[in-house]
């Protein structure tokens, strides 16, 4: 952007005053502008495919989607046949997330979503789950892997730590994805204030992780058995960011400076299940 354009943009931003009542009266711009709307619900009829496996995953290989891919592949690595799954692509740029079948699973129209056909509710319907954190916790507890169990009193402290970091990512992630990622990579034009604001918060979060990992091999301990869904959910966003996989922002954020985070991120990236998960082939829904 030229200096003249920067000055014009800055002047326009400075002159903007919110209306008393917001109205959706203009194109908001940005990469996903065509799918953005202030209303929820389905926008078209849709029939999602259902495969033969117990678990049916409807997702995309974004950081949020990769979280579930990783856990499913880790369960597969352990030979747990009951965790077999079929994976289908929900193209969020094409609006697949607003199809009637997908909205029936996730009324929030976000990936990932999962249906467990091995269990039914009182009406005989399979269990549907949305939000990556709830899916990870559900699967980990169902198969008693990658999470300290509530039934084991000796694991109470470890479980508390795991759930705390799990919720940390769920609460912090929007600042990285919807905040930094949007304004740095997807907004219609660069804007100094939001980029600075969310860069500062993203770097603070990276420092939180770097300081924590200075004394811990994994998020919740030093042993291989301590690797759990806290590592999985955080790696999908912050591990990939640290390894230069998100937003082409590695140099801008100086991610190489976070040495402990770098070590942890590469350790997890080298796991066979993680390698398969990030490149998981998703089947088309039609």
pTM for the full predicted model: 0.92
Domain-located, residue 32: no
Lowest mean pLDDT among 13-17, 154-158, 253-257: 13-17
**Residue located via tokens 């009951």:** 82
Domain boundaries, position 250:
153-271
Local confidence band at 8 (pLDDT 50, 70, 90 cut-offs): very low
Please report, for the domain that includes residue 219, its CATH number: 1.20.1050.10
Domain-located, residue 192: yes
Instruction: List pLDDT tens digits, range 21-51.
Output: 999 888 776 677 778 888 999 999 999 999 9
Domain-located, residue 80: no
Domain-located, residue 201: yes
Domain-located, residue 195: yes
Domain-located, residue 132: no
What domain count does the chain have?
Answer: 1
Domain-located, residue 237: yes
Domain-located, residue 229: yes
Average pLDDT, rounded, for the chain: 94
């Amino acid at each position: 952007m030229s200096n003249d354009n920067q000055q014009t943009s800055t002047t326009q931003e400075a002159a903007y005053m919110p209306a008393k009542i917001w109205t959706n009266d203009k194109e908001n711009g940005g990469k996903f502008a065509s799918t953005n709307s202030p209303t929820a619900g389905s926008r078209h009829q849709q029939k999602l495919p259902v495969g033969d496996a117990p678990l049916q995953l409807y997702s995309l290989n974004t950081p949020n989607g990769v979280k579930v891919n990783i856990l499913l592949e880790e369960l597969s690595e352990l030979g747990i046949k009951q965790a077999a799954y079929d994976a289908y692509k929900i193209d969020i740029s094409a609006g697949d997330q607003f199809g009637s079948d997908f909205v029936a699973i996730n009324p929030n129209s976000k990936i990932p979503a999962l249906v467990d056909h091995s269990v039914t509710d009182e009406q005989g319907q399979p269990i549907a789950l949305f939000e990556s954190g709830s899916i990870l916790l559900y699967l980990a507890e169902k198969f008693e892997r990658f999470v300290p169990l509530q039934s084991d009193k000796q694991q109470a402290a470890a479980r508390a730590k795991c759930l705390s970091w799990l919720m940390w990512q769920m609460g912090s992630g929007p600042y990285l994805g919807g905040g930094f990622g949007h304004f740095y990579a997807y907004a219609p034009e660069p804007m100094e204030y939001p980029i600075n604001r969310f860069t500062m918060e993203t770097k603070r979060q990276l420092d939180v992780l770097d300081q924590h990992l200075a004394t811990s091999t994994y998020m919740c301990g030093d042993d291989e058995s301590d690797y759990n869904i806290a590592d999985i959910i955080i790696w999908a966003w912050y591990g990939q960011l640290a390894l230069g996989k998100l937003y082409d922002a590695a140099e801008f954020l100086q991610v190489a400076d976070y040495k402990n985070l770098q070590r942890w991120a590469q350790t997890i990236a080298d796991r066979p299940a993680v390698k398969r998960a990030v490149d998981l082939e998703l089947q088309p829904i039609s």
